[in-house]
Amino acid sequence: MKYDPAVHHRRSIRLRGYDYAQAGAYVVTICVQGRECLFGKIVGAGPCACPDAPSEMRLNAAGMMAQVIWQEMPERYPGVDLDAFVVMPNHVHGIVVLVGLGQAQGPVPTLPDIVRQYKTLTMKRYADGVRHCGWRPFPGRLWQRNYWERVIRDEQELQAVREYIQNNLARWAEDQLNDRGTGTTGARAGTEACPYPYGGGLS
């Protein structure tokens, strides 16, 4: 089908006119296409769990791959630091810190550059896992086309986002991205919208 802007237009969820290369901290959520639970499962969350047992994310090989590639991003982009991060069954949350023009060595990446590279690398590694290691196939593409981000404006907000990420496992049964209340199955095929998890709408 020929490109038709009236049909194929997608609303951007980035801040119009905002410079995503400037120094600062950003929280990012990237969701698996269709919200399929491809990265493992959560044990100890939900109404049937032992109340004294801590929730635990049991990463499968794909989940470990998603975690390692995120941790390697500063090696690819010297102007990038990382803060809190978690791999969930069907999405990742992470805080990215850009150090700014004066401190970075070489070209300064933008936040979209970092997310795009992360998506590309993980999708390639996952596709290799499907071909060679029997990983569960993903539905067309690994990640949803867009992603959610928020500019972290002060230390208080930074701490609140850290706590949100650190406590995400315990809240999985009520998580907006967990359509069935468990971390063991896939969700609605074709679901594209990734609910904004931090409250307050888009930054």
Residue spans of the domains in the chain: they are 18-174
Confidence of residue 202 (pLDDT cuts 50, 70, 90): very low
Q: Which residue has better confidence, 101 or 203?
A: 101
Q: What is the pLDDT of residue 49?
A: 46
Q: What is the pLDDT of residue 183?
A: 40
* pTM value > 0.85: no
Q: What is the pLDDT of residue 8?
A: 31
The set of residues, in sequence order, having a beta carbon less than 8 Å from that of 1 and lying 6+ positions away, is: none
For residue 32, CA distances in Å to 90, 92, 192 come to: 5, 9, 9
Q: Which residue has better confidence, 105 or 168?
A: 168
Task: Compute the distance between CA of residue 162 and CA of residue 3 in angstroms, rounded to an integer.
Answer: 41
Q: What is the CATH number that goes with domain 18-174? A: 3.30.70.1290
Confidence of residue 121 (pLDDT cuts 50, 70, 90): very high
Nearest in space to 41 (alpha carbons), one of 169, 148, 171, 177 = 169
CA dihedral 148, 154, 158, 159 (to 10 degrees): -150
Q: What is the pLDDT of residue 19?
A: 55
Q: Token digits for 122?
A: 């993980």
Q: pLDDT tens-digit profile of 146-194? A: 999 999 988 999 999 999 999 888 777 767 777 655 443 333 333 344 5
Average pLDDT, the chain: 77
